[in-house]
Each structure stands twice: as C-alpha cells, then as structure tokens.
C-alpha cells in the first residue's frame, strides 16, 4: 500500500450526517437500558460458574477433554486433505479489535473458544496454569485474595491470556517486568498435525526436541495464532499486598513529562512497583508511581476505593487531583488499582454514555458499568461503523522512551486525542517477532490513543501511515490489534520475521494457518 494511493472518503450526505449524529450522540438510549443490564447479568453468571468450577476442582479433567476434542478436529481436517486454513472458532465480535475478521469466512474453525478456566496454582513454584480464555478480571479475582498477583496484569477486565500472548500486553508493572510474554514460563499448544506439545525457554537446550521447543516458545508471542493453537499457559506469580500507595505527580510541560518519566522508570528502584502517566493536553500531564503497601500508617492518609460504582472515572479523578495540587498520595485497594481504567474503558465510554461520570448516574446505575466491549462491538450499527471508520482512533505505538517527546508531538499534530496513555516497559533482547535491533535491552513506552477525533485533516489511512512510518524510523512497534495499513515489506521491517517464518515452514504451518500479515492488515478486517 502506498499512502498517496489512498482515496479520499466520500463525504456523507446531509441526511447521513443527521443519522450519524443521532446514532452517535444517543447510542446510550440502547446501551444504558439494554447492554448494561445484559453485561452485569453475564458477568454475574460467569462469576458464579467460575466459583463452582474452583469449588469442585473440575477444570483439570475438563481441560484434558477439551484438548482431546481440539486434536480430534485437527485429525479430521488432516484426513480431509488440509484444504482450508485453520482459525479458532471465537466469534469476531468477541475479539478486542474494533474490526470483524474477514479471513475466518472460508476457514475451518477449531473449537478453542471453551478454554476459559484456571487449572492450577502452585505457590511453591510460584506459577499459575491457565487456559487462554481466562481474563484479567478472573485472574485478579482469584489470585489477590490468596496473596498473589501476576507481575504484569493489564488493566481491562476482559483482556484474555490468549490475546496477551498471541498478541501482546503492557501495564504499569511492565517498566520492571517487561511485557506479558516475558512473565510466561511455558505454553501448551496443539500443532496443525494434532500433536500436543509443552514448550518453554531452555537456554541450555542440547537435544533437537529441546531446541525446537525453545524456538517455538519464542515464536508464539505476537504471532496471532498463526503457528499453533494455544491451549494453556504457565505464568509467573509474585506475592502482593492489600493496597497500592499511589503518588500523583503533576507535570506542566511535555519536556518535563518526558524527563520525569525517564527518571521515574528506573526498574531497579526499591520503592516503586508501578509506573504510568496520562497526558491531558500538549503540556499538562500526570505521572503515577505505585508501591505495594499494607495500608496507611496514619489516620491522615487517604484510602480511596476507586473501583466502587459511585466513584469518578479514574482519569477524571487524576485530572481533578492535579488541578488542585502539584502532588498527591492515596492508598488504593490492589484490585481497584489494577482495573482502574475498566469502568470507563479508559476514556472510550465518554462518547458512548456522555453522562456516565455524572454523580447521579454513578450512584443510581454505576454498579452496572461498564458494558462489555464485546456487546458494544456486536451491536454497533453499520451507520455508526462508517463514522468510526472515518474518525475513531484506536492505536498503541511502542517506541523507545527517549523518543517520547517527538512522538507525543506527532500525535498532537496528526490526531489530537487526549488523554494519551503513556506506559513505560522494559524490553529485553529475545528471539521472535519483537526482536530488538542493536541493543540487549531498552526502556520503551506505550503511547495509547483511544477515541473519536475531530482533528481537521485527519484521514484514517493516511494519518495512520504517517504514524507507522515514524514508529518504524525509531525502531518501534505497533500493536497489531489495531488498524494496520503498512505494506507487508514495512511490516517485515518493523517486526523480525526470521524465527516466525522458519517455524511456519518447519512446523507445517504454511498451508495450515493464514500468514500473520494477512490476519492483521486492514484489508482483511471490516
């Protein structure tokens, strides 16, 4: 694709503008009375189901049956001549991407969508084994009461283990522990042949089998399920405390934000366990430094349970704090902290339920929030999709922290959506698609832009290409759940396909799974 070849969007007619305005501004008329109760009911039933599964400990035996069924499906596909590509059977509206995948339409769908149980907790080895459909909400609800957590636990409740491994995951603990893939110990996978394997990192691998398992382990992250089917993951856990002591630090210029965030992102600091920042406009921002804590030492210190239904959306609470004082400290219950952006879906919910942060709404109906992202996606009408195609931005660009100032400036010039989410993460050299160039380790930062832009001159394809070209120029990466417009050659420049292509060839994937680029490029999503 070439940026100059993109056609301009056909301007909507006056009637289409009116319909779009009504659908966009009054979507809450459907979301509030229908999707909120439905989401609450779904979450309640699923939580009861999970508690029963844990009580009777039926997950491990059920897992064996589910994996056997996956193998049977693949055996049948092989016996029928391997005539179609393989994909998982998860419906498109359940994915975190805003788009619906087109590549599934003529593919063989393998039923991996029933894998959503926690299988084992081993506190001696400090690991937890889970199926790929397990969500961050499940994990935090299960581990924290037992005194443990994941070193990297991304913020949104509905993010799944499989999505964070086959895709990627970053959160405020990543400045120390790296990306989600870096806390994984083992993957249980089923190959296109139906063979079940357990693979993990083994630096001293000497046998052929061990070397193959080692290389496969590093090839899976970011591969979007185009090498094998993930059926379980073994992940590190760490001890945790009841609260997070959160310090809010106001920054008044972009330069101050970049310099302070660089200083505060010292992964060897003793008293910092979490680092993130919000940039509210070109100048004003806030850096948040968190530390595991048992709670306040004095009665004067504030405990703020930000996860309660009547509380302000977190990002608005942060802005209110820095408008009042230069620095503040609060103690936040750990699970509330982890899911601080869930109730407002970062800041996407402000466009869907404009009065959602109103105190009356929060007290009366806040306990039903948030609507499930999957339900919002499934019920988005076509007329609203056209508006989102033109003006909705959903991008995470991963760049070296040293380039943050020019990157934020570029986002301001091209997109102008605020707040921007800034999350530093430690990236170490490893084989695989996200392989560092000319460094053994480096501090990166996730620059996240979410929402509808009114920036004059914004064009979804052309603007995204400007951002993509910049990210490539600084040896950065683009999260591939988002709209990808770069051509295949540029994708291969951004990501190192060496190991990925070798494993696809040696493991018999070429005729079995779509190529990763064919899954993520905008042309194969609607």
Looking up tokens 């004095």 gives 298
Residue 388 is predicted with a pLDDT of 86
Residue keyed to tokens 């934000």: 257
- Does 5 have pLDDT greater than 60? no
When the pLDDT of each residue in the chain is averaged and rounded to a whole number, the result is: 92
CA 286, CA 263: separation in Å to the nearest integer?
14
**Cα 412 to Cα 417: distance, rounded to the nearest angstrom:** 7
pLDDT grade for 203, boundaries at 50, 70 and 90: low
Give the pLDDT band of residue 238 (cuts 50, 70, 90): very high
Whole-number Å distance between alpha carbons of 342 and 308: 12
Q: Classify 467 as helix, strand or coil.
A: helix
Contact 340, 3 (CB under 8 A): no
pTM: 0.93
User: Could you read off the pLDDT of 374-392 as tens digits, one per residue?
Assistant: 999 889 888 888 888 889 9
In whole angstroms, give the CA distance from residue 251 to residue 285.
5
Q: Is-contact 183 177, C-beta < 8 A?
A: yes
pLDDT tens string 59-69: 999 999 999 99
Q: How confident is the model at residue 94 (pLDDT cuts 50, 70, 90)?
A: confident
- Report, as an integer, the average pLDDT of 21-45: 95
Backbone phi and psi for residue 198, each to the nearest 5 degrees, phi listed first: -120, 120
How do strand 229-236 and strand 118-122 relate by DSSP bridges? unpaired
Residue 103: pLDDT band by 50, 70, 90 thresholds? confident
pLDDT band for 1, please (50, 70, 90 cuts): very low
Length of the chain: 526
Q: What is the DSSP string of 17-56?
A: HHHHHHHHHTTHHHIIIIIHHHHHHHHHHHHHHHHHHHHH
The share of the chain scoring above pLDDT 70, in percent, equals 94
- Is the per-residue pLDDT at 503 higher than 60? yes
Q: Quick one: pLDDT at residue 2?
A: 44
* Mean pLDDT score, 315-336: 97
Q: Which two tokens stand for residue 518?
A: 């064919």
Among 448, 331, 451, which residue's Cα sits nearest to residue 398?
A: 448
pLDDT: is 3 or 413 the higher one?
A: 413
**Residues 321, 250: Cα–Cα separation, whole Å:** 9
CB neighbour list of residue 135: distance below 8 Å, 6 or more residues apart: 116, 157, 158, 159, 160, 161
Among 98-112, 416-430, 447-461, where is mean pLDDT lowest? 98-112
Digit-coded pLDDT (tens) for 135-194: 999 999 999 999 999 999 999 999 999 999 999 999 999 999 999 999 999 999 999 999
Which of these ranges, 1-10, 41-50, 401-410, 500-509, has the smallest mean pLDDT?
A: 1-10
Please state the separation of Cα 23 from the chain's center in Å: 27
Helices (H), 236-358: 254-264, 314-324, 334-338, 349-352
């Amino acid at each position: 694709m070439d940026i100059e070849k993109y056609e301009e969007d056909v301007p909507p007619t006056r009637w289409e503008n009116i319909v779009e305005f009504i659908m966009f501004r009054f979507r809450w008329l459907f979301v509030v009375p229908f999707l909120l109760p439905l989401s609450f009911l779904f979450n309640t039933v699923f939580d009861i189901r999970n508690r029963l599964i844990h009580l009777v400990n039926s997950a491990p035996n059920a897992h064996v049956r589910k994996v056997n069924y996956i193998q049977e499906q693949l055996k049948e596909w092989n016996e029928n001549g391997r005539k179609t590509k393989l994909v998982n059977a998860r419906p498109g509206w359940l994915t975190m991407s805003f788009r619906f995948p087109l590549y599934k339409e003529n593919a063989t769908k393998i039923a991996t969508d029933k894998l959503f149980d926690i299988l084992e907790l081993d506190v001696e080895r400090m690991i937890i084994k889970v199926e790929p459909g397990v969500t961050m909400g499940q994990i935090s609800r299960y581990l924290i009461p037992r005194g443990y957590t994941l070193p990297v636990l991304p913020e949104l409740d509905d993010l799944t283990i499989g999505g964070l491994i086959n895709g990627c995951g970053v959160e405020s603990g990543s400045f120390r522990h790296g990306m989600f893939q870096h806390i994984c110990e083992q993957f249980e996978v089923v190959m296109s042949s139906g063979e079940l394997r357990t693979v993990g990192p083994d630096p001293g691998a000497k046998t052929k089998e061990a070397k193959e398992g080692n290389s496969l382990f590093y090839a899976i992250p970011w591969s979007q399920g185009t090498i094998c089917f993930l059926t379980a993951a073994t992940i590190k856990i760490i001890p945790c405390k009841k609260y997070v002591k959160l310090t809010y630090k106001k920054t008044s210029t972009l330069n101050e934000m970049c310099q302070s965030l660089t200083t505060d992102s010292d992964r060897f600091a003793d008293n910092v366990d979490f680092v993130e920042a919000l940039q509210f406009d070109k100048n004003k921002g806030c850096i948040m430094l968190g530390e595991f804590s048992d709670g306040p030492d004095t009665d004067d210190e504030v405990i703020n349970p930000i996860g309660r239904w009547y509380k302000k959306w977190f990002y608005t609470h942060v802005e209110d704090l820095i408008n009042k004082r230069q620095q503040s400290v609060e103690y936040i219950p750990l699970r509330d902290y982890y899911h601080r952006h869930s109730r407002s879906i970062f800041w996407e919910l402000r466009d869907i339920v404009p009065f959602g942060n109103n105190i009356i709404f929060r007290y009366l109906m806040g306990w039903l929030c948030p609507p499930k992202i999957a339900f919002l996606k499934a019920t988005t009408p076509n007329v609203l999709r056209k508006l989102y195609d033109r003006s909705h931005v959903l991008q995470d660009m991963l760049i070296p922290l040293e380039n943050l100032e020019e990157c934020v400036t570029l986002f301001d010039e091209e997109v102008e959506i605020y707040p921007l989410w800034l999350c530093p993460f430690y990236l170490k050299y490893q084989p695989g698609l996200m392989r560092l160039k000319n460094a053994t380790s480096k501090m990166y930062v996730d620059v996240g832009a979410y929402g509808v832009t009114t920036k004059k001159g914004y064009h979804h394809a052309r603007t995204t290409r400007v951002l993509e070209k910049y990210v490539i120029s600084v040896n950065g990466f683009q999260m591939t759940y988002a709209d990808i417009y770069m051509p295949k050659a540029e994708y291969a420049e951004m990501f190192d396909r060496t190991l990925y292509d070798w494993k696809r060839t040696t493991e018999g994937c070429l005729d079995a799974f779509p190529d990763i680029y064919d899954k993520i490029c905008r042309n194969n999503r609607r």
